[in-house]
Amino acid sequence: MVDRKSERNVTVKHRDEKYADRYRTAIWQEESEHDNPFVETDAYCRGYRFEDLVANTSYAEMVFLMIKGELPSSSQKALFEKVLVAFSHPGIRNDAVRAAILAGVGKTVPENVLPIATLVFGGSRTGAGDVEKMMRFFAKNKRKLPADVLAVQEQPIVLGQYFGEADVMAAKICAWLMGDEQETPHLHWGKALVAEAQASDANIGWTKASVAAALFCDLGFMPKFGVGLLQMMAAPGLLAQGFEHANKPATVLPFVSDDDYELSAQVGNDE
């Protein structure tokens, strides 16, 4: 038998890493007074008893606590609650919403409708795919003059178009959530960047993802959480749209009419 390894001069190396003896987390702790130790009877999130959190904590506070490791201040809570509402629906023309609708009407099994839509929303075109990069852009450039940034990058990642125009709704969301400059400094800087860019091109502006990225920076979230946070926030809208017509026939959706086809007897005929 031919020794293929010797033919390719392959050197087999063994990893010497020492693995942890158990998984450790600072986020969630479970305790058990049950005969079966895998059946938890009490739980703690970041040191807070789960029962107390259920009784006294809002959804916004709970998400903030799990991700940041601490409960939000009153101003952070107020802003984050508005952010959760502002990005709860990506818009009916969004690629992910269309995917959710098609999955629902197409009789996709229920457990797959939201994952399909969420995966599409992870894309960069109209989704959350670039949020981490956007957050890093804001963190890196916030202390620079917008004009200086645009002199180096004519169209930074945080600027874009929506169907060939500046995204009006993204700009409105920015205005709705704009606090004072101390509360939302990244959003204020982004607004100045947009204004500087629009001085030479009125068809460029905020994207919904870049507004979210600026707000995530202002709330103190780390960039690595950005994509997942925006996907999570969009889930209610994706879920609702996906199942709105799920029990109806495919005819509930529009279809290309015969008038939109160019029918020719010459198709497939080389003569």
Round to the nearest angstrom and report the end-to-end CA distance of the chain: 61
CB 202 within 8 A of CB 186: no
CA gap 18, 35 in Å, rounded: 32
Q: Of 118, 124, 191, 192, give the one whose Cα is nearest residue 157.
A: 124
pLDDT for residue 2: 59
- Under DSSP, is residue 44 helix (H, G, I), strand (E, B) or coil? strand
**How many separate helices (H) and strands (E) can be counted in the chain?**
12, 5
CA gap 76, 245 in Å, rounded: 37
Structure tokens at 150: 């645009």
pLDDT for residue 64: 98
pLDDT for residue 225: 98
CB 189 within 8 A of CB 178: no
pLDDT, one tens digit for every residue, the chain (271 residues): 556 655 667 777 777 788 899 899 999 999 999 999 999 999 999 999 999 999 999 999 999 999 999 999 999 999 999 999 999 999 999 999 999 999 999 999 999 999 999 999 999 989 999 999 999 999 999 999 999 999 999 899 999 999 999 999 999 999 999 989 999 999 999 999 999 999 999 999 999 999 999 999 999 999 999 999 999 999 999 999 999 999 899 999 888 787 777 766 665 555 4
Residue 222 half-sphere exposure toward CB, CA atoms < 13 A:
6
- Residue whose token pair is 């500046």: 166
Structure tokens at 14: 């063994």
- Under DSSP, is residue 93 helix (H, G, I), strand (E, B) or coil? coil
CA distances from 237 to 58, 114, 118, 173, 176 (A): 20, 10, 11, 16, 19
Strand order across the beta sheet in which 28-31 lies: 28-31, 42-45, 48-49
CA gap 114, 96 in Å, rounded: 10
Torsions phi, psi of 71, nearest 5? -75, 150
